Amino acid sequence: MIERELLENIFTCYKELLKIFYTDGDSRSMYAERIFRIDTKLIEEVLIRSDDKDIQELLGVVKKHYNGHLSVPRDGFSEFHIYRENFEEMREANLKLEKIKNELEKYFDSVK
């Protein structure tokens, strides 16, 4: 059941990212947002079905999307930052974003 917990953690991070995209996304983040939205829906469906084989397979697919599609320079998620007029608000928002990115890296590093 370690894979299930891992997928649930990724799902939680993705839902948080979708909230951030909703409030702070722009035209440059639309591609990454679309990939996260699709993968979030897939994760939700697999978690509901509770099939361990599907969970293992989906972890590989989601990791591939994250590493392949979302880390593209200029258009990928790795380049996404939150911009605000107030520097302190911007700093706080980006710290939260970096924390989520770091958690995802940790989770995906543990996917075989």
> Which is higher by pLDDT, 32 or 8?
8
Residue 41: exposure state from Cβ atoms within 10 A (0-12, 13-18, ≥19)? exposed
Give per-residue pLDDT as tens, 48-84. 987 788 899 999 999 999 888 777 666 667 778 899 9
The pLDDT value given to residue 100:
96
Distance in angstroms (rounded) separating the CA atoms of residues 95 and 101:
10
Measuring CA to CA, which residue among 106, 104, 98 is closest to residue 11? 104
Give per-residue pLDDT as tens, 6-30. 999 999 999 999 999 999 988 878 8
Residue 43: exposure state from Cβ atoms within 10 A (0-12, 13-18, ≥19)? buried
The pLDDT value given to residue 73:
67
The pLDDT value given to residue 72:
67
Indicate if the pLDDT at residue 104 is higher than 70.
yes
The pTM score is: 0.90
